[in-house]
Structure 1
Amino acid sequence: MTTATSTAATTWTTTRGPLAQAASMTARSLASIRHQPAQLVDYLMIPMMILLSITFFMGGQMMGSWQAFLDYAGPTLIAMGLFFAIVSTGLGLFADIKTGVFDRLTAMPVSRFALLAGRVAADMIKHLWALLIVGGVAFAIGYRADGGVLGVAGAAAAVMLFLFASSWSMALVGLTAKSEEQIQTWMVSLLMPLAYTSTMFVEIETLPGPVQWWARVNPLTALADTMRVLLAGETPGGEALALLGWCAAILAVFVPLSLRAYRRKLTS
C-alpha cells in the first residue's frame, strides 16, 4: 500500500486484489488471539458441552446405550455445536463497528467484501480448531469411523463448507442488530429451531409426519446425512447435492445482503 501526497490531501492507493486484502483482514482478526486467547475457549465450549451432555445424559435413553448413540450422532452433535457458535461472527462484526475499527479501515482503499470476508475466514479457522479438539474428544471416548481418515476428512470439509455459508447469515445479523442481546436472540429464535428440527441426533422415522417433511428439507439434515455417508465410507449422492445446493443458496442470498447492509451502515 502506498501514498501519493499533494498539498490538498493524501490519497491512498493499492494494487492488492480483494482476496489478498481479505487474507490481510483474516490475519488481523487472528492476531487478536495473542491478546485474548480465551476467545478460543468460546468457540470450543458450545460443541464440547453439546457432545458430552447429550451423549452421556440422553444417549442411553434414546438408543439403549450412550455408546450406540455416540456412533450414530457423535459427529453431527459436534457439527450442531459449531453451528450454534457461528453467532460469534455476528458478535465480532458488531463489536468492530461499535468500536470504530471499520471506520478506520474504510478510510483506506480496502474492498468492502475483504473486510467482511476476512472476519468470516478468521472465524472459520477458529471453528476448525474447535472441530479438531472436540473431534479428538469424541475419538477418545470411543467414536470410530468406518470410512477411515478419508471419511473423517470429507465429513470435516462438509461441516466447514456449511459453517462458511451459514456464517454470512450471522454477518448480516451483526451488521443490522441494535445490540448484542438482539444477536443472541437470533441464535435462540433461528439457529436452535433449525438444529432441533433436523436429523442431527434423531432418526427421521421417529418424528411425526408433518415434522418429517420439514426435517427432510432442513439444510442441517442435508449436512447430517452427508456426514454419515462419508463417515461410513460410502459414496455421497443426493444428500451431498442437497448440501451443496443449500450452501450455494445461502451464499447467494446473504453475501449481497451483508455487503448492502455494510454500505448502509457506513452512510448512516
Structure 2
Amino acid sequence: MTTETVTAWTTRRGAFAQAASMTARSLVSIRNQPAQLVEFVMIPLMILLSVTFFMGGQMMGSWQAFLDYAGPSIIAMGLFFAITATGLGLFGDLKSGVFDRLTAMPVSRFALLAGRVAADMVKHAWSLLIVGGVAFAIGYRADGGVAGVAGAAGVMLLFLFACSWTMVLVGLTAKSEEQIQTWMISLLMPLAYTSTIFVQKDTLPEPVQWWATVNPLTSMADSMRVFLDGGTPGGELLALLGWCAALFAVFVPLSLRAYRRKLTS
C-alpha cells in the first residue's frame, strides 16, 4: 500500500506584499531585455521633440513659448500612449502560460495584475526622468521649483496608474495584439488631441470647449501646469482625483472578473 503525499501551498503574505514580489519579478526581465527601457522612452521623446520643434512655432509664435506651455503635458501624453505596453505585456504573459503557472500557487489574483501594472509604472517613471531631462536641456524651466516638479510628476504617475487598469482589461479580453493597438488608436489618441494638452481651452469652439473641460486629460494637464507654475491646485486637481477614483472603481473589478473568466475558460 502506497501513500501519496500532497503538498499544500500556503502563504501568510498579504496581497500588496505579493504584488511587490510580482513587480520585482517583472523588472528582473530588464536585465535580459534592456530594450524595454528604450521602448518606454522613445514614444514620449519623439512626440516632445517633433511637436515642439515642427509645430510649436506655428501654434504660439515660437517653439520656446510652446515648450513653456505644453512641454510637460506633451511628455504626459507620450507616457499616456505608452500604457498600451501594459496590455501587450499582459497579453504576452497569458499567451506564454506564465500566469497559468503562477495561479497554481496561493497568490492573490489582484497581486498578479497589480504587480504587472506597478512594474510598468517603474518604467514610466524612468521614461519621465529621461524625457523630462531632455525638456530641461532644450530650455524648459518650472517656476514652481523642485516641489512643483515633484507634484506634477506625482499627479501624472497617479493618473497613468489608474489608466493602466483600462489596458489590463483590454489585455485580458483581446483576441490579438492588433486589437490592443486598435484600442490605442480609437480611444487614447482622440482623448489626447481633444484636451488642453496643446492649446488653451478658450481658443476652442464653444461646443468643443465643453468636451475639453470634462476630458480627463485636461484635468491632468491643468493640474500639472498649476504645480509647475508654483500655484495652489484647486478644482482641476479634484477633477483629476475623481477620474482616478472612477477608473479604479470600474476597471479593477472588471479586470479581476475578466481574469477569473480567463482561468475557467
TM range (shorter): over 0.9
User: In structure 2, what is the equivalent of residue 110 of structure 1?
Assistant: 107
- 5 Å matches for 1:1-268? 7-268=4-265
Q: Aligned with 2:8: secondary structure?
A: strand
Displaced runs of 4+ in structure 1, greater than 3 A? none
User: In structure 2, what is the equivalent of residue 3 of structure 1?
Assistant: none
- Paired letter, 1:48: L
RMSD: 0.7
Offset at 1:11? 1.3
Offset at 1:8? 4.8
Q: Distance in 2 between matches of 1:193 and 1:71?
A: 23
Gaps in structure 1 of 5+ consecutive residues? 1-5
- Paired letter, 1:184: Q
- Paired letter, 1:24: S
- Paired letter, 1:162: F
- Paired letter, 2:40: Y
Q: Distance in 1 between matches of 2:70 and 2:143?
A: 14
Please give the TM-score of this superposition, normalised by the length of structure 2. 0.98
Q: Distance in 2 between matches of 1:200 and 1:7?
A: 64
Q: Distance in 1 between matches of 2:168 and 2:178?
A: 15
Gaps in structure 2 of 5+ consecutive residues? none
Q: Residues 92-128 of structure 1, C-alpha deviation per residue, up to 9 Å, x if partnerless? A: 1000000000000000000000000000000000000
- Paired letter, 2:121: M
Q: Aligned with 2:9: secondary structure?
A: strand
- Paired letter, 2:126: W
Q: Distance in 1 between matches of 2:187 and 2:25?
A: 30
Q: Aligned with 2:4: secondary structure?
A: coil
Q: Distance in 1 between matches of 2:193 and 2:4?
A: 62
- Paired letter, 1:9: V
Q: Distance in 2 between matches of 1:225 and 1:20?
A: 34
- Paired letter, 2:230: G
Offset at 1:10? 1.9
